[in-house]
Structure 1
Amino acid sequence: MLKTTEINIRDPFVLPMPSEQQYYLYGTIGTETWEGKASGIDYYTSQDLENWEGPFAAFRPPAGFWADRNFWAPEVHAYLGRYYMFASFKAEGVSRGTQILAADTPKGPFLPISEGPMTPRDWECLDGTLYVDAEKQPWMVFCHEWVQVGDGEVCAVRLSDDLSAAVGQPQLLFHASEAPWAQEIHPKGRSGYVTDGPFMHRLSNGELIMLWSSFSTGGYTVGIARTASGDITGPWEQDAEPLYAGDGGHCMVFRTFDGQLLLAYHRPNETPQERPFFVPLREEGSTLVIDQNA
């Protein structure tokens, strides 16, 4: 049994399973984040979000798999009776992209349902997430990386009903620099604005918002974008102040079995110190705030 503070992952994603009264935690294996070849994607299970069993294998690359490193940011979504993993992968000389895998249970084993990523083959992309609109049309929201475009982009592409193919071309939703709080970074002689980890959330008043990450004066940071149209294609506007600016990010939102809304993110952003954190949220007007009193 492991405590949350003993789990070294980035990009935590929690899938509650009410039928089991159990939470599944997925994430980027901390020790395999940046360098060398990746072994796969793991998960942990817990009944209380404090004590965890695992890690267990969720995905191991099959023979001939196109990527061998940077197995990043797995998300697992229940959709039409199966479980779909959105994860980003890369190989030497091949652009990073988000591929979709499927399994009959959240334990896996997850297997690819397409020949390669859903993102354009000549784009450097990451952090795909599932969004299903009011017409039950599935979309993938993802990031076009700053390392290729300078000013990182958040884009959306329609998916086929079975999630096995992209339909049409990606649509640009916004650039990182549109957020007043976002700051340019300058690592290894490069300069740019980062977009990471988009996650869609609909407020109880029906408004559609997106949580996403970049950098600010507080280090790695979570911000909120919103669309008054209620449609994924926008137009999107950025909140002036971030939701969280404490050198933590790549977040998602979920509800506990007793109905508490939680924000999951990793902190700090330095390898190998990253750990998953779960903090209470509440709706306040037409936004989310971290609930310091919960």
Structure 2
Amino acid sequence: MIDMIKSYHKTKSEYQLFITGSNVFDDVKGVVDIKTGEESYPIKAYQNGVSALIDKYRAFIIGNLKSIHRHVSRGYMHQYKNLTFSEYFIALENFKSYIIDSDETKISKISYGFSVPTKIAGKDLIKMNILMHKLNYYNHNKKNKKNTELKEFEYTNHTICVYASKKGLGLENYLRVNLTLNKSLDLKKIGVITVSDLVNKEKLKLLFDLFMLRFNDIIIVDNYENVKGKDKISLDKYLSNRYWESFNTQNGRKAKYREKTKLHALILKHNLNKEKLNIESELRKAFSVFISN
């Protein structure tokens, strides 16, 4: 399910006139030279989950679909609830009303993810079992977010993060997996180019496949306190904080691949992938519910 869309209008001056010369946005802010009446940048606008930012060169439109849905439905929405396709469609249509031409407005960034139930507390999974992504450790563990446990793996083209609530209210056994595509390259490969493409269910399925590809790179290992002997020593080594950094040279790639193969063999040998398989199954269920409702 798409949470956030960032797009840009092909003609900045046209969109600038659209938001400053009409009543599309109630809240429009910019700086005007009192003597000349000339506008300076940035120009910012916000309304009901939709924001616009115009700088010297481009006009960006950003939509938070959950916020838009809350505005449209005028009701409370559980923070771990996934939208259905029909709710998503209505929110997307509302977002498109802030755009001049959704068939021409190109997507530059999206955030995509699902909340799923877990067998143990989501915050404990993140702290103890969600360890690496492609053998890389997290870039951020945002402990400053008081009520959220979060790990984030950041790359040039995408960021994948997992987070869960630390507090009660029935949220303990939930986990959110989120993929942000920071550039349009991966989207173009599956034919998602403009905002209008985001209502095509076939393209949304391809987007989910890409999401699952990134998810499957997360290394999630069950608690292995019952593993003994050499296998326990090897797991401790493979899952230690800095072990894999020693292979980050051109000459170390083959050795790193061999060690990675041994790690995955140990996980399978001792059946330490139950939590990951459960999350994967729940993510597939969540997408099925989303796309069929």
Compute the TM-score of the two structures, normalised by the length of structure 1.
Answer: 0.25
More helix by share: 2
The structure with the largest strand share of the pair is: 1
Bigger relative contact order, structure 1 or 2, given CA contacts below 8 A and separation 6+? Answer: 2
